[in-house]
Structure 1
Amino acid sequence: MHTADPPTPKLRRALTAPLLTLYGLGVTVGAGIYVLVGATAEVAGPYAAVSFLIAALVVSLTALSYAELATRYPVSAGEAAYVEAGFQRNWIAVLVGLAVAASGVISASAVAIGAASYLHTLTNLGTTLLTIGIVSVMGLIALWGIAQSVFVAAVITIIEISGLLFVIGWGMSVQDPQGYAFSETFPGFEINAWRGIFAASLLAFFAFVGFEDMANVAEEVKDPVRTIPKAILLTLVLATGLYLATSITVLLVVPIDTLSTSTAPLALVFSNAPEVIKQGFAAVAVVATVNGVLIQMIMASRVIYGLADRDHLPKILASVPQVTQTPVVATLLVVALILLLTQTLPIGTLAERTSQIVLGVFVLVNFSLIFLKLKPDSTRQHFHVPLVVPILGVLTSTLLFGAGFL
């Protein structure tokens, strides 16, 4: 069981608030909007942007819960530590830890397929070969070291955000847009429209999978009590703004029948652009999506390391060589699993499974915070949210999980 004080960290505290925010933005922005805006539009039609807004509202409540829990227990395998403290049951902690690691592996697999689709437009090489190459190279970077890995991810994040701003700017300047009129992107009160919006919210939710990854590198954050809440909330605000602007732009410019079938949807905004613009954006999109693969690898390997370090998994998975100070065996296991999944399942299925796993974890994490708040608080100084926040987090996460069956 957890004691009041977190265990002494073994990993290097190297992450500041800007690096941690860029880390969160890197996985959130790269994993979602570059790959899945088309799939979301297929289900929600002209109201895809509303689906992103609903997903953001659901995520924001649970994000506040994570901000408190990550400052109570700033350790790797964060969710497992929170659930163990809240439920006082080891087996639930192990189950949640494995679910979080699985979500990272499955998410990285979906994003690797998206990255290969963008890279295919540049090289015309087979997507299978490209997917294997992407996963292998990102695995080598993840083995390199946390500060180096997150620095690489931070540089890439700046590139991918610039890419989204370019999509928005270019799309708004298109003389003859082929998509919906702006007024058509707001839903009325028709039941069928809202059914599609809520069903698509599960896919849109995948675009926000990432902020919780910041909790799983908490053991490597400088001054976690101040840094983690600031970085989590800033990541969500910036990602939501970018998503709404990008999804509306794409809906205005691209015909829905073309958009809904694309695994490289943002490239469609440049269909009438000069070839150099098309190629340049495809290169940015490759970099952006590859970033999501790297960050999910880092997260999943830290969760597996954290579980092994607490004797919930074989101890070899907790081995940290002095040279890299990274969990090498855990990272190699994650890379192998991602390679397997990219070759066996399609991107839509991978995205939906990721969302469902993460929402299930969100419900348990929010329940944990409710239980902890009902007990005397003997932990050291940490960030606080009102009790109503995790209660609403449970309700909204459960409702969004159910929306997937509409």
Structure 2
Amino acid sequence: MLFDRVKPLDAILLTAEKKGLHRSLGAFQLTMLGIGGVIGTGIFVLTSEAAQKAGPGMLLSFCVAGFVCAVAALCYAELASMVPVSGSAYTYTYAVVGELLAWMVGWALILEYAVGASAVAVGWSNHAVGLLKGLGVAFPNAISNADALNAKVLLSFGTAPTPDLLTALNTGGWINIPAVVITGVITWLLIIGTTESARVNAILVAIKILALTAFVALTLPVLNSDHFNSLSEPFLPTGTSGVFGAAASIFFAYVGFDAVSTAAEETKNPQRNVPIGLIASLSICTVFYLLVASGAIGAIGAQPLLGANGLSLAPGSAEMAGRCVSVVAKGAIEPLVCSKEALVHVLDVIGHPGVGRLVGLAAVIALPSVVLIMMFGQTRVFFTMARDGLLPDRLASVHSRYRTPHVVTLVTGLGAAVAAAFLPVGKLADYSNSGTLFAFMMVAISVMVLRKTDPDRKRPFRTPAVWLIGALTIVGCFYLYISLPLTAILVLPGWGILGLIIYFFYSRAHSHVGRGIV
């Protein structure tokens, strides 16, 4: 039978017992851990993408994405407290609903972590190139994005050669070298075993929060209410579909809260402190995001650019890139939706270029740590799957000198570098979200299934109103998934089919659980 292979939960818990982690974290520490894990990715790199999809309505998008993350986090926390071992949602699913679905979750997590790391790398590249430009150093456009390449691909498939596409073809780049370089550096650091200390991470969190606080302090005083809802600048220029479409993309800005749930084993009084840490960190981040988005909208406006058909252009597309070039060439101020470093651009426009450069510098300093965390998470999921026999043993090999899983790290780094070289940040974030949303749905299902199949199991943290919270998580994740662009929606089943082929032709026969090795 397809669903008969379940990894015994007791066997997994024995691994956790050997760790013997000390319970020392309180609600405040968990909240700070969550804020550090969340802030620093989407708010720096996806604000313009959200504005192009929803206009000023992206304020509602932040609320929708934050709510879905909150209910998912409560489900995540119960399983993390019960199964506090490596492997994330993959391990939880293996212990509850079996190997096949666990494989699919682990396979989907590649989209969350590896593709997510690529998205952040491209976001870092945009800020690094912008910072150099602000310092008077012109980095070649041909090797700092792939707009021309993407336009060439569309034209080769028979897309009509619109003026915007031709502009992108003539002015865009062919490969994103800075994104490849930062991905390569992070891969090398992971192989030699360099990790962030708590002190360094705390400093980076402080830098990110200081930069966003400065942005809010300078933009809110010059806020123009007409930018939120006027005859020429409606609040919902793309309707509710635009709000949910932006929420599906902005979801990427909240990923990282699971750092709280996975710390459950090291938490004092987890029944009280884990939910406080989860909800408090997500609430604080949501308020921060709303303030930053309000400042950006109120300062310079956030209306989307429309195509010849009257519909908003797809953010990150070659046609969008061409239109942005044309708008600026006519002498207009670059719209918020066109900027690849939105917060820096807003500060430039309102007369604070110096602070804008500092905000850009903060992003350049802080974002590589997010790339490292995401790639680290990916390598550990791969490592756990290989250790379970679902992937070749070679991927679970450890370097003789550095004692790190160097093979799987190198494979992950190469894949992330290729994606970062040729795809825009918005598309990468959407692809990453498709995998993340699927994994979160499976976590909610696992929580509810385990409440029925093993109700007496010790649960250091119990999801409140689990049948309501679990249902809201599943419905919320599914609705955000179908609100993604069509290409991102199709990526998940396409990627899943490839995963099933690998599973049935290799993994099922080599599985340790299937062979009785537990």
For Structure 1 versus Structure 2, the TM-score category normalised by the shorter chain is: 0.7 to 0.9
Residue 252 (structure 2) aligned to one of 206, 212, 215: 206
Comparing 230-239 and 75-84, the one that deviates more: 230-239
Task: Summarize the Cα distance change of 1:156–1:38 in structure 2 as closer, same or farther, 3 Å threshold.
Answer: same
Residue 478 (structure 2) aligned to one of 382, 398, 403: 398
Q: CA RMSD in A?
A: 3.1
Match of 2:111 in 1: 102
Q: Alpha-carbon deviation of 1:229? A: 4.6
Using structure 2 for the length normalisation, give the TM-score.
0.70
- Aligned to 1:148, what secondary structure does the other structure show? coil
Residue 125 (structure 1) aligned to one of 139, 149, 166: 139
- Aligned to 1:256, what secondary structure does the other structure show? coil
**Distance in 2 between residues matched to 1:170 and 1:189, nearest whole Å:** 23
Residue 96 (structure 2) aligned to one of 82, 86, 92: 86
Q: Alpha-carbon deviation of 1:328? A: 3.4
* Preserved contact between residue 370 and residue 391 of structure 1 (Cα < 8 Å): no
Q: Alpha-carbon deviation of 1:189? A: 11
Using structure 1 for the length normalisation, give the TM-score.
0.87
Comparing 146-155 and 349-358, the one that deviates more: 146-155
Match of 2:516 in 1: none
Match of 1:235 in 2: 281
Match of 1:6 in 2: 13
- Aligned to 2:46, what secondary structure does the other structure show? helix
**Distance in 1 between residues matched to 2:121 and 2:301, nearest whole Å:** 26
* Preserved contact between residue 71 and residue 225 of structure 1 (Cα < 8 Å): no
Task: Summarize the Cα distance change of 1:67–1:170 in structure 2 as closer, same or farther, 3 Å threshold.
Answer: same
Q: Alpha-carbon deviation of 1:103? A: 1.4
Match of 2:444 in 1: 366
| Structure 1 letter corresponding to 2:340 | T
Comparing 316-325 and 52-61, the one that deviates more: 316-325
Encode CA deviations 1:40-97: one digit per residue, 9 max, x unaligned: 011111111111101111111111000111111111112112212221x212111201
- Aligned to 2:462, what secondary structure does the other structure show? coil
**Distance in 2 between residues matched to 1:51 and 1:234, nearest whole Å:** 19
Encode CA deviations 1:133-161: one digit per residue, 9 max, x unaligned: 22223234444658635653332122111
Match of 2:336 in 1: 259
Instruction: Provide the aligned length of Structure 1 versus Structure 2.
Output: 400
Within 5 A, what are the aligned runs for 1:315-326? 315-320=393-398, 326=404
Residue 356 (structure 2) aligned to one of 260, 267, 278: 278
| Structure 2 letter corresponding to 1:312 | L
**Distance in 2 between residues matched to 1:370 and 1:241, nearest whole Å:** 30
Task: Summarize the Cα distance change of 1:230–1:242 in structure 2 as closer, same or farther, 3 Å threshold.
Answer: same
| Structure 2 letter corresponding to 1:108 | A
| Structure 2 letter corresponding to 1:166 | A
* Preserved contact between residue 153 and residue 295 of structure 1 (Cα < 8 Å): no
Task: Summarize the Cα distance change of 1:233–1:311 in structure 2 as closer, same or farther, 3 Å threshold.
Answer: farther
| Structure 2 letter corresponding to 1:390 | G
Encode CA deviations 1:337-367: one digit per residue, 9 max, x unaligned: 1111111222121111111111112222111
Match of 1:334 in 2: 412
**Distance in 2 between residues matched to 1:308 and 1:11, nearest whole Å:** 21
**Distance in 1 between residues matched to 2:423 and 2:225, nearest whole Å:** 31
Match of 1:222 in 2: 266
* Preserved contact between residue 110 and residue 435 of structure 2 (Cα < 8 Å): no
Encode CA deviations 1:93-116: one digit per residue, 9 max, x unaligned: 112012113311111111111111
| Structure 1 letter corresponding to 2:477 | S
Comparing 115-124 and 134-143, the one that deviates more: 134-143
Larger Rg: 2
Task: Summarize the Cα distance change of 1:355–1:111 in structure 2 as closer, same or farther, 3 Å threshold.
Answer: same
**Distance in 2 between residues matched to 1:277 and 1:361, nearest whole Å:** 39
Q: Alpha-carbon deviation of 1:33? A: 0.6
Q: Do structure 1's residue 56 and structure 2's residue 62 form an aligned pair?
A: no
Q: Alpha-carbon deviation of 1:384? A: 0.2
Within 5 A, what are the aligned runs for 1:302-321? 302-320=380-398
- Aligned to 1:74, what secondary structure does the other structure show? coil
Give the gaps of 5 or more residues in structure 1: none
* Preserved contact between residue 80 and residue 94 of structure 1 (Cα < 8 Å): yes
Q: Do structure 1's residue 72 and structure 2's residue 82 form an aligned pair?
A: yes
| Structure 2 letter corresponding to 1:247 | A
Comparing 142-151 and 120-129, the one that deviates more: 142-151
**Distance in 2 between residues matched to 1:136 and 1:214, nearest whole Å:** 28
- Aligned to 1:343, what secondary structure does the other structure show? helix
Task: Summarize the Cα distance change of 1:405–1:107 in structure 2 as closer, same or farther, 3 Å threshold.
Answer: closer
- Aligned to 1:295, what secondary structure does the other structure show? helix
Greater relative CO (CA pairs within 8 A, separation 6+) = 1
- Percent identical across equivalent pairs? 27
